[in-house]
Structure 1
Amino acid sequence: MRYENKFWHREGNRFYQENKEVDLTGLRYLHSGVDTVKQLYNCLIRPDVLQSLQLSYDLADVYFEVGGVDWLITRSSKASGYQFILKNLDLGFVVLLKSFYADADISASHLKIECTPQLIADHTPASLTALIDQIAGLFCVQLVHAGISVHIATDVKGLVMPSDFEARLVAKAKRQFKFNTISNIQMELNETSVVYGAGQSYTFGSAGALQFCVYDKTAEAVKSDKIGFWEDVWSEVPATDFNGDFSDSARISEYEQGDQIHRIEARFHHSVINQFCWGTKLDDGSPLTIKNYIELVPHLTALWQYALNNFRLQYSTSYIDPIWQSLIQDVQYFCPSPKIHYRRQQKPPSDNSRRNVAFWLGNQIKLYSRARFTPAYVVSRLMASGLEADLAHYFNLKLYGESDALHSVLLEFVGDKMRTHLLQGVAA
């Protein structure tokens, strides 16, 4: 089914089109901000730090001190990619150290630093970036920002989840799971949609790419014992009828204890951020660069709008839901994003890939020749392989996907190779 994303006509919180009208006066945004930051580094681990850390772990000491800062040590599983996890949540940091996939004495992706929402809220983008770098310097040298992951979220009061929310949400999730209680299982699922607790919480997509969540933040904050922090944040939004009267009878804050708050959250893996950098050009033709938090911040609003379009709630096949239109038009993170065309693209192939493409292409053509397929059919299968970028690079074509050049070159190349194989008796 083909869906369009038309906007409704709008006057304030009243949305209308043709003979339909939706009033979203009761919808109030209590918070829009960054919930999680994960900074990756390429670096060299300080040998004395790694040696002391390993010794502490071997002696079953749960605490480790470096640079005057205490850390709680846990050993990580290989699934995380790192050998050690060091926590100091009082400071607001979780440090993942020493890659499983590289030796300690070579520069590699040995360090990832995660920040808590409380730490993020207490800092400007510039000061947080500097503080993360400072913590990184306790563990490693030759630090190079290698990428960043981010969770951005909006907390909403007055959101009534439609009973057919799943059916109307246009998404790319391929599998669906249902559970009765909140858990962290969405971190282990790939390309899925997950529904918790009678439709109160939804998770779509992969934790290793772009993940989209809608859930009861009040219940989650109570469960994680962070309700006090979030109630302070929500209470900063003045009531719609507040007129500046601070008398005891006046209702100053929009949030009242006991209100149900829904969180709408987009979680961007660092690989997705990198894809935007590979696919997006600035006005002067230079590539987009986002390797740390301060570089990321100007683009948060654009990323938010991208996520809402990627996981889009439809009112009909033609119109998006007014709730989604409001989220797109009214929510802003820090500042408006630059007026550039954001585009995701897979990592461009390198010269090292040409040899692999040659082997793969040669083997494919030989197998198809033995089965006596036509060159046109073989080309159609090659074009459907998802490797158009590598094939275009192999044939020195720049406009792959935007012209018929790759198809024509492949057809000629495959035809010649298949004819040669047949004459040499490969298919005999």
Structure 2
Amino acid sequence: MRYENKFWHRIGNRFYNQNTAIDLSELKYLHCGVDTVKQLFNCLLDQDVLKMIQAAHDASERFIFIKGIDWMITRSSKASGYQYILKNLDLGFVVLLKSFYAEYDLSGSHIKIECTPQLIAQHSPESLTNEIHAIASLFGYQLVPAGVSCHIAVDVKGFQVPADLESRLVAKAKRQYKFNSISNAQLDLNETAVIYGAGQSYTFGSAGALQFCIYDKTAEALKSDKLDFWQGIWSKVPSTGFDGDFSKPETMSEYSPVDTVHRIEARFHHSVINQFCWGTKGDDGKNISIKTFADLAPHLTALWRYALNNFRLQHSTSYIDPVWQFLIEDIQFYCPAPALLYRREQKPPSQNTRRNVAFWLGNQIRLYARKRYDPRFVVNKLLSCGLEAELADYFSVRLFGEADLLQEVLYDFVAEKMRFLILDGVAA
């Protein structure tokens, strides 16, 4: 079936077309913001700190003190991609450390930092980005922001989830899985729709791409023991009828503790953010670059509208649902959306990843060290394998005009790495 995305005529909260009129005066926004930020870093790990963490974990210690900050330490599963989890929710940070897919002593994607909603609410995008970088510097150096993901959300009262939401939501989710009256569902599936909690929560899409959720935030906040925090946020919204008389506090806030609040949330994986970078041109004609939360913030309003169109609630085959039009036209994150044509594209084939170079280089040096080859011989072999351009990119050296510099930088790196492997017994 072919669906159109026509907008309604609108006067305030009243939406109408030639056949129907709908009044959304009861729909009230209580919060609009970023719920989760996850920042990736490529870096060299601080080996002293890594040894401290390994020793504490091996000794079954639950807590560790690193450079003035207490952390709770746990071992992560390989599914997360990282070996250790360090948590300090009092500060608002969760740090995933030491990639399973990169050598511990080579530069790689070794750090991912997740921020809590409480921390995000206290900072501007620029100051939060600085805070994240400061935490990352506790664990590594030569930090290079490698990508960011986030969840953006709107909390509303007066919204009733349609009983036929599944059939009216036009999305790429082809397979639908229904889980009623269960408290949690975690599925690693592409193009899925998951409904659980007797219709309290709807999740569409894959966690590793763009995911869209609608759920009862009141119930979720109560379950996660965060209701006091969110009630404090919601209570700051003044009532439509508030006349400025502060002697009547019960009329000041739009939110009442008896209200049910629904959250409409779009979750952007860092790979999706990267696709927008590869497919979207800025005003200067160059691809936009988004590596940190400060980079991402100006684009959030546009991405929100993209998500609402990607998971679009239809009123009919011609018109979108008025609630969706309300969400598209009235919601703004930090700043208005720039007038850019936002497109997603896959990574260009010619764009190489440093991670693959790091894997290859580390394995090659380890094998040569076991045979005790001379570093100069190893360098010549590495430079003769046809990957000069990739090596130049990895060491941030221009290939043309600085070939001698590449050779010297590579020699210093190989000599130091082989010496470490031999003396540490790794190459025995």
8 A contact 2:184–2:196 mirrored in 1: no
Write the mapping of 1:214-233 to structure 2, written as runs, cut at 5 A. Answer: 214-233=214-233
Give unpaired runs (5+ residues) of structure 1: 354-428
Please show how residues 142-291 of structure 1 align to structure 2 within 5 Å.
142-181=142-181, 183-186=183-186, 188-248=188-248, 251-291=251-291
Which structure 2 residues correspond to residues 353-368 of structure 1 after superposition, within 5 A? none
Q: In 1, Cα distance between the equivalents of 2:84 and 2:250?
A: 52
Superposed displacement of residue 19, structure 1: 2.1
1:162 positional shift:
1.2
Equivalent residue runs for 1:132-147 within 5 Å: 132-147=132-147
Greater mean alpha carbon deviation, residues 39-48 or residues 195-204: 195-204
Instruction: State the Cα distance separating 1:176 from its structure 2 match.
Output: 1.5
Deviations 1:179-226 (Å, cap 9, x if unpaired)?
Answer: 234544345333210111222210000000000000000000000000
Tell me what 1:119 maps to: 119
* C-alpha separation in 2, matches of 1:154 and 1:287: 29
Given the superposition, is the C-alpha separation of residues 89 and 230 from structure 1 closer, same or farther in structure 2, using an over 3 Å criterion?
same
Residue deviations 1:126-151, cap 9 Å, x none? Answer: 11100000000000000000000000
Q: How many angstroms does 1:38 deviate by?
A: 0.1
Once the two structures are superposed, what CA deviation does each residue of 1:4-34 show, in whole Å capped at 9, x if it has no partner? 1000000000000012001000000000000
Query: For 1:138, what is the secondary structure of its paired residue?
Result: coil
Q: How many residues align?
A: 353
1:352 Cα deviation after fit: 7.3
Cα distance change, pair 250–48 in 1 and its aligned pair in 2 (3 A): closer
Map 1:8-23 onto structure 2 (within 5 A). 8-23=8-23
**Alignment check: 8 A CA contact 2:182 2:198 kept:** no
Give the Cα–Cα distance (whole angstroms) in 2 for the partners of residues 112 and 181 of structure 1.
Answer: 34
Distance 1:213 1:242 in 2: 32
What amino acid maps onto 2:161 in structure 1? M
C-alpha distance in 2 between matches for 1:184 and 1:306: 27
Contact 1:14 1:22 in 2 (8 A): yes
Equivalents in 1 of 2:232, 2:351: separation in Å? 54
Residue number in structure 2 paired with 1:379: none
Deviation at 1:348, TM superposition (A): 0.4
1:402-417 alignment, distance < 5 Å: none
SS in 2 for 1:48: helix
Match of residue 333 from structure 2: 333
Provide the rounded CA distance (Å) in 2 between the counterparts of 1:212 and 1:167: 15
> C-alpha separation between the residues in 2 aligned to 1:351 and 1:321?
41
Measure the CA separation in 2 of the matches of 1:44 and 1:74: 21
How much has 1:169 moved relative to structure 2?
0.1
In the alignment, which residue of structure 1 is the partner of 2:64?
64
Task: Provide the C-alpha distance between the structure 1 equivalents of 2:12 and 2:50, rounded to a whole number of angstroms.
Answer: 58
Distance 1:181-1:114 versus aligned 2 partners, 3 A rule: farther
Q: In 2, Cα distance between the equivalents of 1:255 and 1:320?
A: 28
Deviations 1:372-427 (A, max 9, x none): xxxxxxxxxxxxxxxxxxxxxxxxxxxxxxxxxxxxxxxxxxxxxxxxxxxxxxxx
Distance in 2, Cα, partners of 1:249 & 1:343: 47
Contact 1:186 1:207 in 2 (8 A): no
Which residue does the alignment assign to 1:345? 345
Which amino acid letter does the alignment assign opposite residue 158 of structure 1? Answer: G
Structure 2: how far apart are the matches of 1:182 and 1:142? Answer: 45
Within 5 Å, give how 1:292-331 maps onto structure 2: 292-331=292-331
The answer as to whether partners of 1:41 and 1:111 remain within 8 angstroms in 2 is yes
Match of 1:105 in 2: 105
1:267-286 per-position Cα deviation (integer Å, ceiling 9, x unaligned)? 00000000000000112211
Deviation digits for residues 46-73 of structure 1, max 9, x if unmatched?
0000011000000000111111101111
Residues 82 and 218 (structure 1), Cα distance of their counterparts in 2 relative to 1, 3 Å cut: same
Post-superposition offset of 1:249:
6.7
Paired with 2:242 and 2:347, the residues of 1 have a C-alpha distance of: 51
How much does 1:341 deviate? 0.7
Helix, strand or coil: the match of 2:251? coil
> Secondary structure of 2:219's partner?
helix
Give the SS at the match of 2:248. Answer: coil
Q: Is contact 2:170–2:314 with CA below 8 Å preserved after alignment?
A: yes
Aligned position for 2:3: 3
In structure 1, C-alpha distance between the alignment counterparts of 2:40 and 2:123, rounded to whole Å = 19
1: CA distance between counterparts of 2:59 and 2:206? 38
Aligned partners of 2:40 and 2:146 also within 8 Å = yes
Contact 1:83 1:97 survives alignment (8 Å): yes
Q: Residues 129 and 143 of structure 1: is their aligned pair in 2 closer, same or farther, counting only changes over 3 Å?
A: same
The one-letter code of the counterpart of 1:99 is: S
Deviation string 1:246-300 (CA, Å, 9 cap, x unpaired) is 1237511000012100000000000000000000011221110000010100000
Q: Structure 2: any 5+ residue segments left out of the alignment?
A: 354-428
For 1:196, give the aligned amino acid: Y
Contact 2:177 2:195 (8 Å CA) reproduced:
yes
**Which residue number corresponds to residue 90 of structure 2?**
90
Q: Is the 8 A contact 1:186 1:203 kept in 2?
A: no
SS in 2 for 1:51: helix
**Distance of 2:94 and 2:26 partners within structure 1:** 38
**TM-score, normalised with respect to structure 1:** 0.81
CA distance in 1, matches of 2:351, 2:223: 51
The 1:45–1:15 alpha-carbon spacing in structure 2 relative to 1, beyond 3 Å, is same
Residue pair 2:183, 2:197 contacting (<8 A) in 1 also: no
Identity of aligned residues (%): 69
